[in-house]
Amino acid sequence: MSVRVLTIPILMLASYCAGAHGAPVAEPWHTQQTDPVSAVAAAQLSGWYATSETAQDSIEIRDIRQDLIHRITRDELEVLLPWMTLDQGNDGPRALAWTDSGRALLIVVCDDAPSPDGLGPDAVVRYDTTTDELSVFSRADIGGADGEAPAALHHEGQLWLSTQAGPVHIYDARRNVTSGSLQSTWSLPGGDPVLGLAVARELNLLFAVSDAQLYRIELTQAAITPEIVGPVDDARAVAYSDHLGAASQEGAFVLGNSGITHVPRFQATGLLAYAPTQYLSLTSVPSDLAATPCGRLLMGTSTGAQIIRDDADTRHDFEAWVRDEFQQVINYAEGLVAPDGGPSGWVIDADVAAGGSRFHPPSPDGAAWLIMLEIAKDHLAGDQASSDTVRSILRRYAGLMPDGIAPTVTADGIMHHWYDPWTGASAPGWSDEYATLSTMLIVMAADRARRFYQDDAQIVEAADVIIGRISNWDSYIQPGTNAMYFRAAATGGPDFGTASAPYNEGVIFIEQAAAYANASHALGAWLDRASLPEAEYVDGLPVTTNWPGNHLPAFVSLYPYIAQNATRGSGNWSRHLENLLASHGAWVDDNAPRFMTVFSAGTTKPEWGGYNADSLSNHPGDVTTFPALMAFSTTGRTAPSVGAYHAYRKGARQSFETGASLLYRRSDIDPGYTPGDAGLPDVVIGALGLAELIRPGTADAVLAIPYQPECPADLAPPRGNLNFFDVSIFLSAFNSANPTADLARPFGEFNFFDVSAYLSAFANGCP
């Protein structure tokens, strides 16, 4: 063992030595399978769970809510493995192993008859959760169709598979390996078969059990040298959990005929004398045990599957955590509305870690994502306070506040990225750029707000000002290339040195230009994945990008998927998002980080680039961005957010000056690193992913809706309804020479042409 174990404080040893336990609580795990469950498995860093049975030879894949995601049948196995003669006996799926991310499930299928082709009678079948494909990973003489089941484990790009003859086979199972090649073998002292395998991730240890002994293996050593931990009785499987129940309950859990035995961490590592305790007694015959990412144990028995929690656990369960994390982000974001006594309605762009001093100025970006969050919050819970917050923000950014402080904009209505809250000019010491990306976000939020709060005249008015003051949309799209200009000139028009070709998050601006101007052709080009550059981290799973082979930060894809109807409604773009998550999952499966990892923009160490747009192409510090991980749940899938929940259970939350405690970023290279600040846009997208889990359909209902084009004939709320009141308002405005009635050039002259333009628009309904 490494000398690192000698540094553990004596008080901590005493705590673990005391071995205080709560009570295990076992509940049924739902399956449609016949009672005997032959094997169970759970991905370690994401919410994928599986059970198998041999009576009908089926495998069920479920999520944390026990909803069935996929079922693999005997017929499918027999098509793939035509030499097998599967029946109601013990042959069939005897062992399961998930990759850490849940990207692949490896199914060990054993047959009780020799194969007619002379090759291995047994097989490892690989199920790909992204492509929904089954394939043969390897064939071997594994055994276990009549005797004890083999053990299987995927870790750091390798599959470890035991055999009845004794040796454990290690296969290459990295991200682009779909047909495994045998790399090496090893055996226990005496050659006993290994019946269970489990990894203690942060200890770099692997645990193995025979029927009579528990062993540990130091994974950092070049040679595999099993070391006896202590005796066990009739072992069938082993699991290791460092977040089940109370902290003192970390350790190995050995499944035997009579129940589950607990070997606390410091006994399992050899620092304390071996004295395991009975954790759970059983009356049914056990078959398999797996630790879950949600802090429980999944167990297979002769009477079905069970999920085991511990009543000493004081952490939120998954459903409570989803709501609490959402609320923590609400607290964080609302706390950034004029937090330090500035003029009301300004939203600063970031908060600092607890105890720090805020330094970020207001931005349209932060304001926009807070408005989107408030709309989601109101949609979920009917919170009247949300409209007050939205009204204040929109009126400030529209320049309608009584104090007269209004944001400066270009002649085309493009906003600064950073603002001085006391003057409305650009923030001193920060870039004075006029940013089309910032402008598109506040337009996005304004459009959603005036639709959601269509009966609030002040919100509608402010939103109309923000959207209506923007002109010259098409000039920000480069002819021929459809590239978008990221910056604008104060006098109007783009900064021609800032063109960025598709693809990027600017697709939101392009959609707006199509709705409010004449950019429909450009939008079609931006949404045509077949014509856009690609990168491919996993063979056969291309993702869209801005340059061939270059991966983009996750937020670039998540922004439009959260807020763009055309993206969410496209099978092609849904596949892009699935491929993007799978690509990050493949990195996780090959590298075995502490947490499910998604690379996106955010704060890092100065030596890692300060604020850095991390991606699969560039990720100094291997920093995962948890809000981006949660944002993948805007698809409705719980699995990504279970990965974030696992991080919460492991203490990865961070506290901020607003008083909020939430998940932001953690480094796998430097686990102790805590970012000094967090950008509001980077944080809020995670909560919007959780909103989809709290109330399915939220994004489609209130966030990713089509833009409402400007209609000169629609003058009376609610917007979108053309009626008698619009006529009345127009005639009144016309009679009083109000600019509202001036629809025809030259502007400022009220004449017959204005009446004609109005009546034409009204008759056509302003589509």
CATH number at residue 488: 1.50.10.140
* Band (758; pLDDT cuts 50, 70, 90): low
Identity of the amino acid at 711: C
Residues 360 and 274 in one domain: no
What's the confidence (pLDDT) of residue 118? 86
Say whether both 419 and 533 belong to one domain.
yes
pLDDT tens-place string over residues 448-462: 999 999 999 999 999
712 in any annotated domain? no
pLDDT, position 67: 98
Average pLDDT over residues 424-444: 98
Residue 255 belongs to a domain: yes
Q: How many Å apart are CA 162 and CA 157, to the nearest integer?
A: 17
Q: Report yes or no on 709 lying in a domain.
A: no
542, part of any domain? yes
User: In which band, very low, low, confident or very high, does the pLDDT at 16 lie, cut at 50, 70 and 90?
Assistant: very low
If asked whether residues 119 and 205 sit together in one domain, one would say yes
Q: What is the DSSP secondary structure assignment for residue 427, as one 8-state letter?
A: P
Whether residue 442 is predicted with pLDDT greater than 50 in this model: the reply is yes
* Range scoring the smallest mean pLDDT among 127-131, 485-489, 531-535, 753-757: 753-757
Q: Using 50, 70 and 90 to split pLDDT, how confident is the model at 146?
A: confident
Mean pLDDT score, 16-28: 72
CA dist 409 and 489 (Å) reads 10
Within 10 A of 496 (CB to CB), how many other CB atoms are there?
Answer: 10
Q: Is 350 exposed, middle or buried (0-12, 13-18, 19+ CB in 10 A)?
A: buried
Domain presence at residue 758 = yes
Q: Is the pLDDT of residue 9 over 50?
A: no
Do 697 and 759 share a domain, yes or no?
Answer: no
Contact 38, 149 (CB under 8 A): yes
Asked if residue 5 has pLDDT above 80, the reply is no
Whether the per-residue pLDDT at 537 is higher than 80: the answer is: yes
Q: Is residue 711 part of a domain?
A: no
Flag whether pLDDT at 15 surpasses 90: no
Domains in the chain, number: 3
User: Is 519 part of a structural domain of the chain?
Assistant: yes
| pLDDT mean over 633-652 | 98
Q: Which phi and psi angles does 282 have, rounded to 5°?
A: -125, 150
Residue 180 to residues 196, 311, 505, 589, 619, Cα–Cα distance (Å): 21, 41, 38, 15, 28
Q: Tens of pLDDT along 307-366?
A: 999 999 999 999 999 999 999 999 999 999 999 999 999 999 999 999 999 999 999 999
User: Which residues, including other chains, have CB under 8 Å from residue 571's CB and lie 6 or more apart?
Assistant: none
Instruction: Examine the pLDDT at 110 and tell me if it is beyond 60.
Output: yes
Residues 302 and 327 in one domain: no
pLDDT of residue 53: 97
State residue 383's pLDDT score. Answer: 80
pLDDT at 18 over 70: no
List pLDDT tens digits, range 170-217. Answer: 999 999 998 989 999 999 999 999 999 999 999 999 999 999 999 999
pLDDT higher than threshold 70 for residue 744: no
Residue type, 301: T
502-515 mean pLDDT: 98
Whether residue 156 is found in the same domain as residue 205? yes
pLDDT band at 755 (very low <50, low <70, confident <90, very high): confident
Quick: pLDDT tens for 234-281.
999 999 999 999 988 999 999 999 999 999 999 999 999 999 999 999
Letter string b/e over residues 398-424, b meaning 16 or more CB atoms within 10 A of that residue's CB: bbbbeeebebbbbebbbbbbbbbbeeb
Tell me, what's the pLDDT at 735? 72
**Cα dist from 450 to 107, 591, 661, 704, whole Å:** 52, 46, 31, 14
Residue 161 has pLDDT above 70, yes or no: yes
pLDDT level of residue 737 (50, 70, 90 thresholds) = low
Same-domain pairing of 302 and 268: yes
Classify residue 673 as exposed, middle or buried by CB count within 10 Å of its CB (0-12, 13-18, 19+). middle
Do residues 529 and 634 share a domain? yes
365 by Cβ neighbours in 10 Å (0-12 / 13-18 / 19+) ranks as buried
Q: In the predicted model, what is the mean pLDDT of residues 509-526?
A: 97
Q: Which of 241-255, 452-466, 650-664, 700-714 has the least mean pLDDT?
A: 700-714
**Same domain? 328 vs 299:** no
**Residue 573 pLDDT class (50, 70, 90 cuts):** very high
Q: Are 637 and 741 within one domain? A: no
Band of the pLDDT at 764, cuts 50, 70, 90? low
- Residues 495-501: what's their mean pLDDT? 97
- Is 524 part of a structural domain of the chain? yes
Section 540-568 average pLDDT: 97
Whether residues 396 and 489 share a domain: the answer is yes
Domain that holds residue 731: 724-764
* pLDDT for the residue numbered 145: 78
Side chain identity, residue 287: S
Q: What is the pTM of this model?
A: 0.92
Give dist(CA 256, CA 235) in Å, integer.
4
Same domain, 730 and 684: no
Residue 285 sits in a domain whose CATH number is 2.120.10.30
Q: Domain boundary residue among 310, 342, 367?
A: 310
765 vs 243, higher pLDDT: 243
